Structure 1
Amino acid sequence: MPAIKQYSKKDGSKAYMYSLYVGTDPLTGKPKRTTRRGFSTKKEAALSLSRLQLEIEKNGSIITRHDTTLFEDVYLLWLDQYKDSVKENTFRQTKYAFRDYILPQLGGYRIDKITVPRCQKAVNTWAGQIGMFKLIKNYASTIFKYAISLGICSDNPMAKIQIPVKKKIVSNAADKKIDFYSREELAHFLYCVEKEAELKKLAFFRLLAFTGARKSEILALNWEDVDFSSKRLNIYKTLAIGEKGVIVNTPKTKTSKRIISLDERTLDILKAWRKEQRKVYFAFGFNTSHKTQPVFTNQYNRHIRPSSVIYWMRSIAKKYQVREIKIHEFRHTHCSLLFESGATVLEVKERLGHANIEITMNIYAHVTKKQEEETADRFAKFMNM
C-alpha cells in the first residue's frame, strides 16, 4: 500500500502527498510513477489514491505522459519511423534542422504544456536565423501532430502561430546577386587549372564549366555514363552525404535526368584522365577498367566528398590570384555564356535540367541587362563618334 506522507509547503503550511506506480512508459520502456500532492488532509489524499487505484484496476495501467513527456521525447520516437521513409541525406539534413533550430527552442518543454506564444517566439527566432524558417516550422508542427496521434497531447499550437513577414529592402539593385565568370575569366581559370598538371582536377572543372551540370551530378558519374562515341553525358544520379558517409542518390526531379552533348576538347580531357586513372590506381592495387568505376575518386578509389572540390577551387584561386566564385556559380557561368552564344531559353533550360523556366529566366535577365548596358557603347563605336 503506497504511503501517504505529510510535507511542508513553502509558506510553512502542511499538506499531504502520495506516489503510485502506474505502469510502464511506452516511450522509454521504463517503470513509471505518478506523484500527487497538495491535499489539505490525509483523508483527501487517501480518497484520491483510492480513485486512482480503482481506475488502474478498471482500465489497466495508465501512463501520465502529460506529466513528464518532453517535446524531445516525442521527436526521438518520431525519428525512428521517419528514418525509413526518406532518403539517407534527407534524414541527415532533417536531424540537423532539429538539432540546430527546433530542439534548442522546444526540446526541453513538456509537449502538452507548450503554448501558442511559446511556438510564436520560436518561429520568430527561426525567421531571424534562416531563410527556410517555414520548413523548420513545419518540421516542429509534425512532432505535435505525431504526439496527438499517440494521445500524448490534444492540440497543435504550431498550427495557430502567425508567419512572420520579412520586409524587403527597396533597392535599385537586383534583389539577389548572381555571380559567374565572364568568357575571359573562365578561359583564364581553366588555363590556371591546366598549369596544375592534375588531369583529375582539369576534367572536373572542364565538365563543370562546359556542361552546366551540378557538382553532385558530376561527382556521381561512372565511366559508363560517358558515351565517347556519341559524344554525350548521361546525367541520372547525384552524390550526397548520408549518415555513414558518401552515398549516390537519384535526383529530386524528373527534369534533372538528362543527356548532355560534349565538345571534342572535353572528351579529350576525359580520355586522358581515364587513361591516367587506370595507370595510377593500378599501382595502388585498384582495377578501374570496369564500366561502373566512378570518374572521380579519392586515394582509396571511393567517391570524392563534395567538400573536397571547394578546397581545389580555393587553392587554385589563391595560387594564381584569380577571382574565386562558388562551385555552383560555374553552373551560372555556363548558363550565361550559353545565352551569350545565342542559345534559346528552352535550350538552356533543357541542358541545365532546370525544374521551371523561372530559374532560367532569372539568369537570362542578368545577361540581357549586361548586354543592354553595352548597347550605347556599341552604337557609338559603330558611328565612330
Structure 2
Amino acid sequence: MASFRLRNCTCPPDRKRCTCGAKWEYRIRYLDRKAGKYREKSKSGFDTKKAAQLAAAEEELAIERNGFAENGNETIKTYLEDWLEIYKKPNVKPITYSVQERNVRLNILPQWENYRLKDITRSEYQKWINELSKKYSEGTVRRIHSIFSSAINDAVHEFQILRDNPIQKIKIPKQQNNESKLHYYTKDQLDVLLEACKPVKNTKYKHSIQYYTLFSLLARTGLRIGEALALTWDDLADDRISVSKTLVYPLNSTPYLSTPKSKASVRQVKLDAVTLMMLKKHRVNQKEVILRYPGYTASADNLMFHQQDGRWLRTNVVREYFKEVCKRAGVPVLSPHALRHTHAVHLLESGANIKYVSERLGHASVKITADTYLHVTKKIEQDALDLYTAYIAD
C-alpha cells in the first residue's frame, strides 16, 4: 500500500495548498515473499500528488509482477537465482536449463554473487571476461557471457530494474591456434585405447565388453555421449542407429531423457560392418553377463548400455572409467567427447565430404563443422590444390 506526503513543506498547517515549492513523495510498503518480511520503497521529487500516485501505482505493479523490488540494489546472487528458477526453468528445455544453471553456479556467481546489479561496471566485467579466456575456450567464454548478458537484458527490458545493460557488446578475446584446443586421437592412439577397454583380469564384471563397445561406438559414429547412453536396442534397425533423444544426468539430481541438442541432431547414423558386428556381439554378451553374475539385472527399458541394476549408465562414471583406460593405455587423458572429435577428424582426413560429416555428427550447419575442424579442412583444401596444380602442370 502506498502513502503520500509533501517533503520539507514550510507552509503553515492551516494552508489548504502548498506555496513553498515542496515536492511530493510516495512510500510503498510491501511483503518480500522470499525474505518473509515487509520492506519499504520510496521516491520523491513529484510536483503534484497526482504524479506521485501514478508513479506509485506503476511501481506497485512492477513489484507484484516481477518480484524484484529494488531498483538495481538486489544482489546478483538473488537476482540470478530467481531469474533461473522463476523465469527460465518453466520456459526452456531441461537440458538448456541445466547448462544455464551450471554456468551460473560454477562460473558467474563465484565472481559476482555479492555485487548489486547496479554495481556492474563495463571495465571490471571486461577484465573478468579476459581472465576467463585464459582458462576456457572461446566458445565456452561466449556461452557464459551470453547467459549473463541475457539475464541483465531481462533486468532492463522485462523487469525495468536497470536502466541499461553495461555488458552488452562486450569484447570476447579471440584465441589463436585453435587447433591446439581440439583434442582427438590419432589412428594408432585409438587402436591402443580401444584395446585397453577390453576387460582386465580381476575386475568385477570381467566378462562384460560393454565399455569396449560403448567407446568403440563413439569413435566410429561420432555420437555424443548422452546420445549413446540414451540408446535402446529398438533404435538399431538393419545397419542404422536412430538418434532421437539424449540422456541428461544432472549433478545430484534425477536423470531424464531430453530431445537432442538441435533439430539436425535427430538423425539416422549408418554403421560400418565392423561396428554392426560389434553391437551384435555386445547384445549377446549383455545377456551372458546377466546370467553369469548374481544381482546383474536386465534393463526394463531395453537399454543398449546400462548399470548392473538395469538403470542408465551414469555419465560421470563413464568419464572416470574412460580416464582410467587412457592411463592404462598410455594415451592422452581426455574425455569421451574426444572420441566424437576423433571420428570427425578421421572422416575428414580419409577424404569424406564435409557436408556428409556435418550431417553424420548432427551439427546445425556445415559452418560449425568447418570452424570446429579448421586445421583439417585447411589440409584438405591444400591437398586438393596440390592435386589441381599437379594436374595442370602435367
- TM-score when normalising by structure 1: 0.70
Out of 236, 242, 263, the position equivalent to 2:244 is 236
Measured at CA, do residues 105 and 274 of structure 1 come closer, stay the same or move farther in structure 2, by a change above 3 Å?
A: same
Identify the residue that residue 223 of structure 1 maps to in structure 2.
Answer: 233
Choose which of 77, 81, 87 in structure 1 pairs with 2:82: 77
Residue in structure 2 matching 1:95, options 92, 96, 101: 101
In 1, the alpha carbon distance for the partners of 2:158 and 2:358 equals 46
| 1:172-211 → structure 2 map (5 Å cutoff) | 175-194=179-198, 196=200, 198-211=208-221
Query: Relative to 1, partners in 2 of residues 1:156 and 1:27: Cα closer, same or farther, differing over 3 Å?
Result: farther
Which deviations, in whole Å up to 9, do the C-alpha atoms of 1:336-359 show, x marking residues without a partner? Answer: 333444433333222222322234
CA contact under 8 A between 2:239 and 2:271: conserved in structure 1? Answer: yes
Deviation (angstroms), 1:259: 1.2
Deviation for aligned residue 1:210: 1.7
Question: Per the alignment, in what secondary structure is the counterpart of residue 85 of structure 1?
Answer: coil
- Counterpart of 2:250 in structure 1: which amino acid? G
Q: 2:124 aligns with which of 105, 114, 121?
A: 121
Q: What amino acid is the match of 1:125?
A: W
Matches of 2:275 and 2:284 in 1, distance apart?
14
List per-residue Cα deviations over 1:118-154 (Å, max 9, x = no partner).
Answer: 2431242133114444443443344444445676625
Q: Is residue 295 of structure 2 the alignment partner of residue 284 of structure 1?
A: yes
Secondary structure of 2:297's match? coil
**1:333 and 2:337 are equivalent in the alignment:** no
Moved more, 137-146 or 91-100: 137-146
Q: Residue 238 of structure 1: CA displacement?
A: 1.5
Contact 2:72 2:161 in 1 (8 A): no
Q: Which runs of 5+ in 2 are unaligned?
A: 1-26, 44-48, 64-68, 201-206, 387-394
1:251 matches 2:256: no
Post-superposition Cα deviations, 1:282-312, rounded to whole Å, max 9, x if no partner, equal: 6427344x6x321111122211122222222
- Tell me how large the CA RMSD over aligned residues is: 3.9
From 309, 312, 315, the counterpart of 2:321:
312
Rate the CA distance shift 1:133–1:333 in 2: closer, same or farther, 3 A: closer
Kept in 1: contact 2:76–2:116 (CA 8 A): yes
Paired residues for 1:1-385 under 5 Å: 22-25=29-32, 28-33=35-40, 65-66=70-71, 69-79=74-84, 80-111=86-117, 113-114=118-119, 118-130=121-133, 131=138, 132-148=140-156, 153-158=161-166, 163-164=170-171, 166=173, 175-194=179-198, 196=200, 198-227=208-237, 230-242=238-250, 244-281=253-290, 283-284=294-295, 286-288=297-299, 292-361=301-370, 363=373, 365-366=375-376, 369=379
Aligned residues: 328
The TM-score, its normalising length taken from structure 2, stands at 0.68
* Superposition deviation, residue 278 in structure 1: 2.8
Q: Is the 8 A contact 1:22 1:61 kept in 2?
A: no
How far apart in 1 are the matches of 2:38 and 2:230? 49
TM-fit CA distance, 1:218: 1.1
- Partners of 1:345 and 1:360 within 8 A in 2: yes
Does the 8 A contact of 2:196 with 2:328 survive in 1?
Answer: no
* Contact 1:294/1:303, CA 8 A, preserved across alignment: yes
Alpha-carbon distance in 2 for matches of 1:33, 1:258: 56
Give the CA deviation at 1:67. 9.0
Q: Give the 3 Å change call, closer, same or farther, for CA 198–103 of structure 1 in structure 2.
A: same
Matched letter for residue 343 of structure 1: A
Letter matched to residue 76 of structure 2: F
Q: Deviations over 1:233-257 (max 9, x none)?
A: 1112222223613222111222212
Measured after TM superposition, the shift of residue 78 of structure 1 is 2.2
- Spell out, residue by residue over 1:33-91, the C-alpha distance to the aligned partner (whole angstroms, 9 max, x if none): 5799xxxxxxxxxxxxxx9xx97xx9799787349643333333322232111222322
Q: Percent identity among equivalent residues?
A: 26
Contact 2:289–2:296 (Cα < 8 Å) also in 1: no
Quick one: distance in 2 between partners of 1:150 and 1:364? 39
Which deviates the most, 120-129 or 334-343?
A: 334-343
Do the aligned partners of 2:71 and 2:162 also contact (CA within 8 Å) in 1?
no
> 1:71, 1:183 → 2: CA distance?
48
Residue type at the aligned position of 1:208: L
CA distance in 1, matches of 2:172, 2:153: 25
User: What one-letter code is carried by the residue in structure 2 that aligns with 1:238?
Assistant: T
Letter of the structure 1 residue corresponding to residue 245 of structure 2 = K
1:326/1:129 CA distance change after superposition, 3 Å: same
